[in-house]
Amino acid sequence: MDENTIGRAIAQAWSEAVFAKDRAGRYRFANAAALAALGKPAGEVIGHNDHEILGDAAVAAPIVESDRRVLREGLPVETEVAFAAPDGTLQTWWTRKTPLRGERGDVVGLLGMARNVTQRRLDDERLRALSQERQLALDAAGMAWWHFDPRTGISRVDARYASIFGIEGREISAERLFELVHPDDRERAARTVERALDPHDPQPYHLEMRIIRPDGQERWVEAHGIAGFEGAATERAATRFVGTVADITERVRTRHALEETNRKLVLADAQKTQFLTTLSHELRNPLAPMRSAIDLLRLGGGDPAVRGRAATVLARQLQHLTRLVDDLLDLARINRGQISLRNEPLDLRPVVEAAVDAMRPVAEDGGLSLALSLPADAGAEAPTVQGDATRLTQCLINLLGNSVKFTPRGGHVEVRLARNGGRVVCEVEDDGIGISADLLEAVFGAFVQAQPSGAGNQGLGLGLALTRSIVEQHGGSVSASSGGPHAGTCIRIELPAA
């Protein structure tokens, strides 16, 4: 048996199509697989070219062109061609053709091998379609995908992932990725990944965390994933870790804003309840002495001393009720923007003196000393502002009323007025119960008390809120400072000098 016979036997037994052509493109050999692909018997193939066999010039053209390239260049050529199979279905064939050389080394023909890749191409198309659908679904959800190889420590990511994290390229190492995680979230992220990759008890991977992009921008992301494992039970190990990630920064901001709004609503509701409770007590407090005064009038008959005492009680309690109602009306007017101010040059010294004179009897009744410090007339730049004397007096009376109310007997209250450059500063300082640090700003809100409800006669908690609103309408500011509980309080008003 010679070599040619052996070669032909091998080619005939080969499952893939094997053929040979001369320089004119005529088939000189075709194994059984090749004849089956062409759907022709050997007599209709051997000695014929592709135009004659296929009967379709358009189908034969690319086959003939690849033949010519092999014969012309003397190099192997790989191509894919499509033509109708004997059953009429369109099939795709991959071919590799190499030159056949004669004894003198010249190209005398070609040897080819072909493989039916129709199913592979269909599978590739399906995978490509599935990949496109997956990407469309991810795009619709605003999500990115990632694939982490635990063996190499490298993640492959898509363009959206790279955009979210602000990185270049489509690969990132685990070390670099953890550098982008916010320092406060790294330990939690590492534990979550470790549990997801545990070969014996893998846990669902779900993580919300902050990242700090290379440009310094902080973002919130939400990641989901699942690990794949291989190996026997004792040698089981994670070989892949795939999942999605989404930028949820706006969602988190909205959630935090809603939480803050809810917190404020809960606080406002508690303050409203406290206010209504306090208002009930404040409105009831004057009623008992007023009722007693009326009883005195009934029982005392025409006794002038009795009538005088009763009138004094009634007048004092009526004044208290009037002040409560006025505060409520002022707050309503301010909230509706209906309060109006007289804007005129105003020396604050007589304003402060009037407020101190009005509150001095109350301070003395409470066993307090009330001191006043004003700029000297001679040589001092007058503390003049543009403002409304009545409203500014009301502010100072509110501040003095708070100091007197929350300073125990034997305590001290001091009022200081001074010109400080382009500002006029008035301070009301006491050595009373003080204000805790967390309430220094909150006390300027309506219905807020420096002490819990029920700690004595406290009013409605409107004084500081009204004072701030009026002072700010004058272009000024109000602030509070305190050493803490039982360390006194200082309220400071600053107004622009006229």
CB 446 within 8 A of CB 465: yes
Q: Does 171 have pLDDT greater than 70?
A: yes
| Distinct helix (H) and strand (E) counts, the chain | 14, 18
Distance (Å, whole) CA 367 – CA 140:
74
pLDDT of residue 72: 93
Q: Could you read off the pLDDT of 234-270 as tens digits, one per residue? A: 788 889 999 999 999 999 999 999 999 999 888 878 8
Token code pair at residue 276: 């209504």
Name the DSSP letter for residue 39: T
Question: Distance from first CA to last CA of the chain, Å, rounded?
Answer: 124
| Cβ neighbours around 30 below 10 Å, total | 24
Smallest Cα–Cα separation from 392: which of 428, 443, 351?
A: 351
| Predicted confidence (pLDDT) at residue 134 exceeds the cutoff of 60 | yes
Rounded CA gap, 428 and 404, in Å?
A: 11
DSSP string, 128-166: HHHHHHHHHHHHHHTEEEEEEETTTTEEEE-HHHHHHHT
**Beta-strand relationship, 369-373 and 412-420:** parallel
* Token pair for 134: 């997956």
The percentage of residues in the chain with a pLDDT greater than 90, rounded to a whole number, is 33
Instruction: Kindly tell me the sign of the dihedral angle through the C-alpha atoms of 26, 31, 37, 39.
Output: positive
pLDDT over threshold 90, residue 69: yes
Residues 6+ apart with CB under 8 A from 15: 33
pLDDT one-digit tens code per residue, 397-426: 888 888 888 899 988 999 999 888 888 999
- DSSP assignment letter at 471: H
Distance in angstroms (rounded) separating the CA atoms of residues 181 and 391: 55
C-alpha 417/C-alpha 445 separation (Å) is 25
Per-chain mean pLDDT for the chain: 83
Distance CA 15, CA 333 (A): 97
- Global pTM value: 0.49
What pLDDT is attached to residue 11?
A: 62
Average pLDDT rounded to a whole number, residues 64-93: 86
